[in-house]
Structure 1
Amino acid sequence: MKNFTLKKVVLFVLLFTICTLQSQKLSKNKQALVQSIEKHQNALIEISDKIWQAAETAFEETESSKILSDYAEKQGFTIERGVAEMPTAFVATYGSGKPVISVLGEFDALPGLSQNPVPTKSPITEGNPGHGCGHNLFGAGSLGAAVAIKELIEQGKIKGTVKFFGTPSEEKFFGKIWMVNAGLWDDVDVNISWHPAPVTEADVQSSLALVDFKVEFFGQAAHAAADPWNGRSASDALELYTAGINYYREHVKPTVRMHYHIQDGGQVVNVVPDYSRLWVRVRDSKRSGMLPVYEQVKKMAEGAAILANVEYKVSLISGIYEVLVNRTGGAIMQKNLELLGPIKYTDDEITFGKKIQEVTGKKQLGMDSNINPLRTTLKNSGGGSTDVGDVSWNVANINLRVTTAPIDTPWHSWAVVACGGMSIGHKGMLYSSKAMSMTMLDLFENPELVAKVKAEYKERKGDEVYKAIIPEGPPPIPTKE
């Protein structure tokens, strides 16, 4: 028993020494940022948990947006709500003059992923939404960074302006496109963003460009047995169209991805359907590669309509750019990750992570928050898509990923929701606040760094003229019945 107690004391002293040495590496201002986030940590966790519980989907994040904007306002930020014609979009601003450094906050959930904070599938309410991409952590973590920077500006330790962008509907309609189109980043020098992940790293990989569109077919209803010759089947057109997409897959580049979701294929079996609808998505590693595929897939809708002798309509939903990488900014973030060191997990948290891995058929490796060297930027990094890409083509952007779930966790799943509602997610969220605020501080304190980050942005952007891929008119806000 005495040996066990002695080991505990030695371990505590060792951890205390490591933490002390780590803090000694930080400047006074960076220490102040860490202290600020730790001072606000209970409030940030409460914000994250409330958004996790609300689990509101695209453009319906009324409560989540209010939680974040109200807290920012309470901390002294000036709030502009309902920006870019989106009721749940807002901008929180503090300070004046240059530089202007902004940070992104997302807060929308995904349909059908309701889950208790336990390591086995257990919906709170079957079929309800859940934060399967960790956006409850995303918004709260980014706000924590903005508040910490605001306090240094308030104390006169740094000069400039900090902005927190509350950005809705990342999972469906891509709200940032309309915010970019409204010119909300026009005065910003550098933008910072992060995303929950199974790893911690300065993110210098791109994403996939994407376009979403709706295809509808209009035919003639008839009795499916008595007089089918009087019918023109919209469902036939839909099947012919999806067959065309599937045959086309063989003849596109490996970087291309095509998906579709049949939203209406007819209502009953004994009626020749006069209407069908599907949601189609085309992606590629570059917008320039995506657009020709998009044009071809649109043409194929006309071909299917001709074959089935029906009418058709193609409607653009929205489209996004690939992320424009900034390695100069990534290197700044990398140094701050190395200063902070890895996240430490308890035995219970590691057990929680391993249980998720067991249940989802993965190796039981636990958690990974190692700080690896800055990775080479891959030519075609694959992965998903994000409307952060549109932001990155309008302002220099620095990205971060932070561990909030176990290694190899299936993303957009109940497992991510579970971790986002307990301490594994909370730790990652608070860590992101520290890493982002420290990177923002480097920019506030060193104008040369700002100039270098912006110079790389301009070089990588080149002659590309940004053009938002959105239909005419306002954002597609759901109407209340």
Structure 2
Amino acid sequence: MKRILFVLFCFAVTSSYSQNKISKNKKAIIASVEKHKQSLIKISDDIWALAETAFEEHQSSKILADYAESQGMTVERGVAGMPTAFVATYGSGKPVISVLGEFDALPGLSQKATPDKNPLKKGAPGHGCGHNMFGAASLGAAIAIKEQIEAGKIKGTVKFFGTPSEEKFFGKIWMVRAGLWDDVDVNISWHPSASIEADVQSSLALIDFKVEFFGQAAHASGDPWNGRSASDALELYTAGVNYYREHVKPTVRMHYHIQDGGQVVNVVPDYSRLWMRVRDTKRSGMLPVYERVMAMAEGAAILANVDYKVSLISGIYEVLPNREGGKIMQSNLELLGPIEYTDEEIAFGKGIQKATGKPEVGMDSKIKPLEPTREHPGGGSTDVGDVSWNVANINLGVTTAPKDTPWHSWAVVSCGGMSIGHKGMIYASKAMSMTMLDLFESPDLVDKVKKEYKERKGDEVYEAMIPDGPPPIDEVGN
């Protein structure tokens, strides 16, 4: 009992000490986020319930843009040729600090806010990556900074970028191509996670393309010799990709989704289509693999005596890490301390872990130390990478689900619609706005972050990996 009391006493003293170290302006930032807390939770919950997918986030985008406008920010909607993309701005002059907000859901992950798999509507979309919280928290951070500029405490410009279709077409690439970050000094981004850390790791570069085969239909029994099977070509192609897996580096990932393999069994199919992705930790390693699997499409077409077409959808760069920015974020995480959970929330988290076959250890809200930046990290891909090759970028991860939760799953959707997700979202809003405040208050910090960005980028010339023309709005649903 004495040991427990001693631990509680030490925790209270540490928390009090951290609070005493928080500056007056940072206390005002925290108060601003708290003031908007219930509105931000409602925004997040509304977007969670809407669960709109890539380029269909019309209501979700409007909710965020309308709230930014109601708080005195100037909003430009439909930027970069995307109806659901927007920029909310407040202030003038330098520095210009921006923050990213995503809001698209994933197909097929509909889920109630319960610790067992229980869809709201079977087969419907759900926020399996927590983007309902992503956009709301980032907007809260931008508004907190806006209020400090408005009060005359800091000078400069804050921007909130509403970025659609991160999960499918990578909308930020078109926003980058439109030059929307050209005047920005530093960008801030976060992502829902199962832990809290200033993220100084990279991600995987990715190329996204479509392979189509065109043959000749015929009766599958009566005269199959008159047919040329597009489905045969598709199978030969996927066989080639799968044999190739043995001969690529361990950092490479290749995966595909067969979108059309024929319609009925008694017709030799004259059309087939496959959606393919290639990834690696470096764009330089990804491109040769991409070229090889493109050549395989020609080989499959020759073998099946059909025609073929490879169409680029989009491609994204790996994230360019920034340790100087990570240090600033880390200091603010340590000021805030860990997230505290109720017994009910811990039980909910353990229920998620039980349902997904993970150890029932509950939540992980400890502040991770700033880790060394790894040369070849694992994980997924994000179009934040393209932003990070055009402006210095600071990343953050915050706990919004229990430890070891499978991402892109119903479990993330569940937590994102209740208090576990809400707490992480509000925490992220505070951490980002405090970090942004440091940048506004210290030109030296901005210079350090930008210097590292330039050193890491080196002589690399960024080239957007997207086709000429507008974003593929007409591809929605295909």
Range of TM-score over shorter length: over 0.9
Shift of 1:23: 2.0
Q: Give 1:21 shift.
A: 3.5
Q: Deviations over 1:208-243 (max 9, x none)?
A: 000010000000011111110000000000000000
* Alpha-carbon distance between aligned partners in 1 of 2:474 and 2:435, rounded to the nearest angstrom: 37
CA distance in 2, matches of 1:48, 1:142: 11
Deviations 1:155-174 (A, max 9, x none): 00000000000000000000
Q: Which structure 2 residues correspond to residues 242-261 of structure 1 after superposition, within 5 A?
A: 242-261=238-257
Work out the CA distance in 2 between the residues paired with 1:107 and 1:140: 9
In structure 2, what is the equivalent of residue 196 of structure 1?
192
2:48 alignment counterpart: 52
- For 2:266, which of 270, 273, 277 is the aligned residue? 270
How far apart are 1:142 and its partner, in Å? Answer: 0.3
Q: Which segments of 5 or more consecutive residues in structure 2 lack a partner in the other structure?
A: none
1:99 has 2:95 as partner: yes
CA contact (8 A) 2:15 2:337 kept: no
Q: CA offsets per residue over residues 137-160 of structure 1, 9 Å max, x none?
A: 000000010000000000000000
SS at match of 2:160: strand
Partner of 1:359: 355
Match of residue 425 from structure 2: 429
Equivalent residues in 2 for 1:20-419 (5 A)?
Answer: 20-419=16-415
Distance 2:476 2:387 in 1: 30
* 1:336-378 deviations in Å (ceiling 9; x for gaps): 0001000001000000000110110000010001112100111
TM-score (norm 1): 0.97
CA distance in 1, matches of 2:95, 2:446: 8
Quickly say closer, same or farther: Cα 1:11–1:39, change in 2 above 3 A: farther
Pick one of 437, 442, 449 that aligns with 1:441.
437
Deviation at 1:472, TM superposition (A): 1.1
1:260-284 deviations in whole A, cap 9, x for unaligned? 1000000111110000000000000
Q: Following the alignment from structure 2 to structure 1, what is the Cα–Cα distance between the partners of residues 218 and 107?
A: 35
Q: Which runs of 5+ in 1 are unaligned?
A: none
Q: Please list the CA deviations of residues 283-339 of structure 1 after superposition, one character each: whole Å capped at 9, or x if unmatched.
A: 000001101110111010000000000000000000000000000000110000001
Residue 350 of structure 1 contacts residue 366 of structure 1 at CA under 8 Å; is this kept in 2?
yes
Cα-Cα RMSD = 1.7
Sequence identity percentage? 78
SS of corresponding position for 2:321: coil
C-alpha contact 1:48 1:140 (8 A) present in aligned 2: yes
Contact 1:265 1:275 survives alignment (8 Å): yes
TM-score by length of 2: 0.97
Distance 2:405 2:103 in 1: 20
Structure 1 residue 22: deviation in Å? 3.0
Distance in 1 separating the partners of 2:335 and 2:256 = 44
SS of residue paired to 2:153 = coil
Residues 46-83 of structure 1 show CA distances to partners (whole Å, capped at 9, x for unaligned) of 00000000000000000000000000000000000000
Equivalent position SS for 1:478:
helix
One-letter code aligned to 1:193: S
Letter in 2 for 1:350: I
Cα displacement (A) at 1:12: 10
Tell me the amino acid that sits aligned with residue 142 of structure 1. Answer: S
Structure 2 distance, partners of 1:459, 1:212, is: 28
Contact 1:170 1:387 in 2 (8 A): yes
Contact conserved, 1:200 with 1:369, CA < 8 A, in 2? yes
Query: Quick check: 1:59–1:478 contact (8 Å CA) kept in 2?
Result: no
